[in-house]
């Protein structure tokens, strides 16, 4: 999709420099992907400590722990 945007040049240049991304398009795509990823992670974090998975981590990891 083609879109005309008015972006602060210094902000785009800093993002390109700090990430090593060579094109403005790729840096914008990367920024959008990261924004979406962070939003999804924030949604998942709401469930921390609220879901009981009833998992034995030692068994899952193949550990043979005996008391």
Query: DSSP per residue over 18-50, as a string?
Result: HHT---HHHHHHHHHHHHHHHHHHHHHHTTTTT
Question: Does some domain include residue 30?
Answer: yes
Contact 27, 12 (CB under 8 A): yes
Which pLDDT score, from 0 to 100, does residue 60 have? 81
Contact 65, 58 (CB under 8 A): yes
Which pLDDT score, from 0 to 100, does residue 3 have? 92
pTM above 0.75, yes or no: no
- Residue 28: domain span: 9-46
CA pair distance 24, 8, nearest whole angstrom: 12
Question: Does some domain include residue 54?
Answer: no
* 63/30: higher pLDDT: 30
Question: Does some domain include residue 22?
Answer: yes
User: Could you tell me the two tokens for 45?
Assistant: 């974090």
Which pLDDT score, from 0 to 100, does residue 66 have? 65
Question: Does some domain include residue 61?
Answer: no
Query: pLDDT tens digit string along 6-57?
Result: 999 999 999 999 999 999 999 999 999 999 999 999 999 988 888 777 888 8
Contact 20, 9 (CB under 8 A): no
């Amino acid at each position: 999709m083609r879109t005309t945007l008015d972006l602060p040049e210094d902000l785009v240049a800093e993002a390109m420099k700090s990430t090593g991304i060579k094109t403005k398009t790729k840096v914008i795509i990367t920024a959008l992907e990261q924004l979406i990823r962070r939003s999804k992670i924030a949604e998942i974090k709401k469930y921390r400590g609220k879901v009981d998975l009833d998992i034995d981590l030692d068994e899952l990891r193949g550990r043979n722990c005996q008391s």
